[in-house]
Structure 1
């Protein structure tokens, strides 16, 4: 084989490699952004900071994860309303959003046994006596 044929074969092999890599990248469907509304949430982040400050000023722990029983306890007073967001950073399809309204002080826990084992973020947003709060915990199930 002479130089001309070698260069042509190399260029064709390179072209096939590039086309196959582009095809593989385009067909991937398991790439998820942390959030779909990134810019809108960035603008609202100052409100989020104020909610976190309010939660840090509380004198008790609001969100407690029991690794033995696989439950998340919410230590909130009656009348609290909010959202518990179970966030899986590696796969947005597993995320869950649970709205709650505390009417019975004895029923303040969420069973997480059915969640896929691994790293989760538990995000709790609630309103208590007209004041908004936000608390986030990282857990391993």
Structure 2
């Protein structure tokens, strides 16, 4: 009987230990994945995203009014390193107020806001020399009296 008892001790197997080690490694991997996911910085394109979503119908109305008054053009000149904003002639002689936002989708720290100051010919030149190269959105919010308007153009600075 001693010989059969020695044989069972010699048939020692590592399978249960291997399974336990694999499970512990897998749980460690999942825990590290969850830790990294929880510490990931998730930036929305805008800080006030949800508030902007609620006001979207007002935005649609602004865009519609802008289309009705005529063409508001934004044209980028690579040679002059500037963007030319041209408001329609229908606004000439009227009190126009507003702001121009230079929006960088990839980095909100680079965003800039400028006052809208059109000249007598209803145009304004926006310098782009100091802006980083890449994709920018030029957003123009303006009003004349009680009516508000909006236009947006995407430009690629080179």
CA offsets 1:50-102 (integer angstroms, 9 cap, x no match): 11112112333432222332212122356321111122222222222223344
Report the TM-score when normalising by structure 2.
0.74
Corresponding position of 1:36: 47
The secondary structure found in structure 1 opposite 2:109 is helix
Tell me how far apart the structure 2 counterparts of residues 67 and 22 of structure 1 sit (CA, whole Å): 46
Residue 3 of structure 1: which of 15, 33, 39 is its match?
15
CA pair 95-133 structure 1, distance change in 2 beyond 3 A: same
> Any conservation in 1 of the 2:102–2:113 contact (CA below 8 Å)?
yes
Q: Select the structure of larger CA radius of gyration.
A: 2
Report which of the two has the higher share of helix.
2
Q: Which has the higher contact order (CA 8 A, sep 6+)?
A: 1
1:99 partnered with 2:111: no
Corresponding position of 1:47: 58
Aligned residues: 139
The secondary structure found in structure 2 opposite 1:114 is coil
Structure 1 segment 1-141 matched on structure 2, within 5 A: 2-29=14-41, 31-76=42-87, 77=92, 79-102=95-118, 104-105=119-120, 108-141=124-157
| Structure 2: gaps spanning 5 or more residues | 1-12
CA offsets 1:5-60 (integer angstroms, 9 cap, x no match): 1111111211221222222223333x311222233222221211111112112333
> Any conservation in 1 of the 2:117–2:124 contact (CA below 8 Å)?
no
Provide the alpha-carbon RMSD of the alignment.
Answer: 2.3
